[in-house]
Structure 1
Amino acid sequence: MTIDLPNLPGTYCLVFHCSTSSLVTIGKLGTYQIKPGYYCYIGSAFGQGGLNSRVQRHLQINKRHHWHLDYLRPYLTPVEIWYSTDTIKREHQWAALLLEDEHSSIPIKKFGSSDCDCPAHLFYYEERPVFDKFDDKLNEFVPNHDVIKKKIN
């Protein structure tokens, strides 16, 4: 799967669907039962190649395991990518917003957030999360945030 994203720095949310229950070992985090539903993974890309490079890597399945998502990725099908080329790193604000969402839960504590104070950067939803609701809430939560865009698989 290839998605054309800007080679600019930014923040992203990868929305995945999982169709079956599976036991997955995630590096040093341990082994977890994942269940059918939707998973949102929040990250940022401020290195060389920006959003395009980082998201393309996350969408690959057969690769060296570097990030927590690499262990989980074979069990997930990408459905949407939400992203912003805001020059401010916003992943912690995005994660905080999903944490507050009454429809989300944290399936694996510290997933994707071992280098920060966030409880996790992975969120579970029984139903597909809605981009427009996230965008509206983010505009309330962070009024000076740059425009968020969406790509659909």
Structure 2
Amino acid sequence: MVAEDSGAYRLTLQLDQAATITVGRLGSFAFKAGQYAYIGSAKRALSKRVARHQRLAAKKSGKLHWHIDYLMSHPDCHMIKQELFEAGKECEISAAMARRRGVTIPVEGFGATDCRAGCKTHLYKLPERKMATE
């Protein structure tokens, strides 16, 4: 049985400046400035989970529970986009992100410590976009 308000989500984040961030028990890591994509899921209350991420990103305060919370609570990190997907797609979306050209893995295991599909991470550093010259 699948809960009505369940599914996967992808958050696009902007880290304005490079930062060293401690991610719970995972450890401290150097994050480069730029855009990141995080893929997560919720078996129930998907809308509440995403709203919680939005509040944490905006207010920079709240209980830090998941790996993504540590990044989102950093003062230079901002959520710039969210996308929702049907349940059971988290690892499929993560695998597709890993195959994209120029995408890198900033921290192995980030958001994927309970992943049964073998994902190395659920957080990806997106490639820098080149500005079009006029």
- Does TM, normalized by the shorter one, top 0.5? yes
Aligned to 1:24: 21
| Aligned residue identity for 1:52 | S
Take 1:26 and 1:44, find their aligned partners in 2: how far apart are those partners? 19
Q: 1:40 aligns with which of 9, 31, 37?
A: 37
Take 1:67 and 1:14, find their aligned partners in 2: how far apart are those partners? 14
Take 1:115 and 1:45, find their aligned partners in 2: how far apart are those partners? 13
Cα-Cα RMSD:
1.4
Deviations 1:25-46 (A, max 9, x none): 1111111111111010001122
Q: 2:51 aligns with which of 41, 48, 56?
A: 56
Take 2:99 and 2:14, find their aligned partners in 1: how far apart are those partners? 21
Aligned to 1:79: 80
Aligned to 1:124: 125
Task: State the 1:9 CA deviation.
Answer: 1.3
Aligned to 1:111: 110
Take 1:124 and 1:114, find their aligned partners in 2: how far apart are those partners? 18
- Percent identity among equivalent residues? 33
Q: Which runs of 4+ in 1 moved over 6 A?
A: none
More deviation, 32-41/51-60: 51-60
| Aligned residue identity for 1:90 | K
Aligned length: 118
Task: State the 1:126 CA deviation.
Answer: 3.1
Task: State the 1:63 CA deviation.
Answer: 1.3
Deviations 1:106-150 (A, max 9, x none): 00100000001210000001336xxxxxxxxxxxxxxxxxxxxxx
